[in-house]
Each structure stands twice: as structure tokens, then as C-alpha cells.
Structure 1
């Protein structure tokens, strides 16, 4: 019921490119998210999704997050997870267009699941992605399909997020530090961080603040399911109000934040 009410509110507030006066956001919509061209990478993404949706193996899920609203048991078919709990085909293609348009080179994903989002981020793009997953059996499925589809720029790490994020060796060092980054004493950075592993307010805010030092001026953070619950909506409000966040976009299923210091602080509610 919460999500239904939240979606009605979203529809009443949301607009498209015609209600956007920011050149950066307008171009993001018209040159990326609203474009309908077919990228060669789409074939790989669709094939990957088809493969996991046809996989009838049963695995045991270890869930560290907010739990499932679809499944009553931790014993689940891979195909059922792919059809009911994974990112949709439409959103996977959107994510692929976005990462290409923004010239993402280094990325971190919290919550691999079956690897559909990982595939969407990297397919056809020269992106080094580190993806973290808490469930061993789910990660085994993802690792198997990464190998099958030749997605060799993905590094998959398994374990508790808190422990994995405390490690230093997965961070990707900047080769050419810009004066702005040097001034801010940022020794490492990531172009994209995709948050999709724990849909709870406290965890979301902890990970946001913990990973914020890895953002540079052109980074983007994407938060999945920002209207999942009242707590997630509260987390989203705190995130977009943070002084480091200059541009935020609520697309209902995603919350996107940018750190472009050259822009005035603005928030957009947009239909994708």
C-alpha cells in the first residue's frame, strides 16, 4: 500500500524534459535516458536476462537486507528471482545507456544478486566494476554467468558489506589527479556507485556517508527503490539534502545524485 500511495504522489509531481531548465539534466534525458536507439550491448543484456530467467536451479538465499515482499522462503528458483526480484529489462537498458553517456570508467555496486545490473553497467562499456554480494549461492550463479558471457571487467566479492567496504585493496586509484580533487585530498574515486543491497534507512545512510569520500565532481550515485518504504524515503530526503549533493533526480524506482559543484542545488522528479 505504501508504494501505491507513493507512486500516485510521484505521478502528480513528476514531469519530463519539457519541465527541466537545467542544461545538464535536459541533455541527460534527451541524449541518454529518453533515447530509443538500439545499442549492440542490448543483445548481451537481453540474452543474459533470458538465461537466468530460464535457470530452474534452486538455491538458498542469505539475506542481509530488508527481506523480500515476494518470497516466503529462502529456498528459491533462480528463474523466480530473475522474474520477480531482479532489475527489469527496461531498467537494465536504461542503466546501460546511462553508464555509456556519462563515460563511466570505474564503478562499485552494492548488491550483485544474479548479476543483471552488473551486466547492464558493463556490457559494451569499458568499465571496471567491483560488485559486492552477501549471499554465497547467489554470487555463485552470478559468477558463472559472468564467465559464460565473457564479462571479464567485473570483480565479484562475497561477504558482509561492512567488512568488504572496510577493505582498501578494491579501491581504484586515480592516475591523473585534477587540481580540484587534489585540493579535496581525494586519493581514490569512483565514477559510479550503485546502491542495491540493503533497502533500509540506517544502512543506506551509513553506506552513503561511508562512500561519499570516493565521489568526485562528475560521479553519480544511484539508489535503488527509494520509495520501498517510509524509511527509505526518509533516507532519500537526507541524501538529497546533503551539502555535497548538487543535483538529485527522483525517478520513483531510482534516486540519482550528482556532485557537480558548478551547478546550483536542484531537485527533479522525472518520469523515465
Structure 2
């Protein structure tokens, strides 16, 4: 028997066509899951998961704005009509740079709508389905900013702190219903977003800034999307059946070794 198999399981992954989400979608499909990707940009490549992925995994992509309650409810209802929903990974999120003084109201609202309300919308749609099934696994994407201070990340830290405490609430309220809920707190991960941020803000100094940002992690480099995906795989597998209500930092030593 293969360890960490998701064969025969159905997984919803928000923001699953790029960055960390794409890595999670790919790893889960390789392990046999039927992956349902909720993605804001409907133009994303629908072949994000190649055909020759292995045992039985496959993927479908659905245009869906996680901040839109009605859209989320309708999309997840349609997915549930074809079978169980065994796994939910709340990965979709946006960033914002700024302290409280230079964070505009519209900035705060935008971050709230995706990073907090978006997680709520998916939980609100999926938890009753899992409760009726008597089983389910939820992984929320938090951040090191959920638990330690990060400079110039006021709105983002607010949102990821909420993701952490929502995780605790779901785990507590639905443990008797057979639902496990944990969260992952990455430090800086090398994704296309990071490359775009550097290119936009430090034109001509990309390599220097990439090196500087990498060195903010005590381990000396950024994380890889696949490393986050493998942790998500473990938490969603049957091998992690005794784990719930826990935050898992994956941070190259940032929380404990900085300062």
C-alpha cells in the first residue's frame, strides 16, 4: 500500500492553478485524488494537471471568486452533486504591503474579502456536507504572520491571524462530526508572485533582492511550493488521522531562530 494515498478522494483546492495552490493540486492528483480547483482567473491553463499523473487522479477547474458567497455556494453545491467532498484546502489569498497608517480602507476591505471572507465562504459551504458524511479534512493556508510580527504587513497579518483562529474554531466545533481541521503557516515561498513583486519594486536589482529576501530565512533560502504541498498532503492523508486543531509552521526556522 502506498503511503499518503488519496486514491478515491475528492479535494477542493482554492487558488489551485498557480503558485502553492498549483503544487498542492499536482501533488494531490499524483496521489490519486480527484482535484476540484476553484480559480478566479478562468483563463488559467485548464491542463494544470497533466494527463499522465499516475494512478487515478484527475482535475477539474471552476471559475470562482472565493469572496463571492453565492458563487462559492453554487460551485461547491455542483461539485457535491457528483459525490463526497473529502478534502478542502483553503489556499486562495492575496498579499498587501503597508502599516496601519498607509493601509487604505479599500486595501483592508480587499484583503478581508479574499483572505477571511473567502475562507469563511468555503467553510460555510463545505462543513455541512462533511458533517452529513461524518468525515472530512480541512487545511487552511495561514502564515508565519499569524503568530509573529512582520514589518509592513498590517492587513495581511490581520487576515492570516483570523485564518489561524478560524482553524481552531472549526476543529473544536466539529471534532465530534469526524472533521479534522489544521492550518499551515509558511514563511516566504518562491512563487511567481515573489518574482513579480521583485521585478516591479526593484527593477535592475532583481538578483540582489532575491538573495536578500532568501537570507531573511535562517535556513538561507525561500521555501519551495512543493514543500508546502507535501505537508498539505500529509495532513490530508489517513496517516494524519490523529491530528486536528494544530498550526504547522514551515518556515526555514524563521519563527524560532530569528531575533
TM-score of the pair, normalised by structure 1 = 0.43
Indicate the structure whose relative CO is greater, using CA pairs within 8 Å and at least 6 residues apart.
Answer: 2
TM-score of the pair, normalised by structure 2 = 0.45
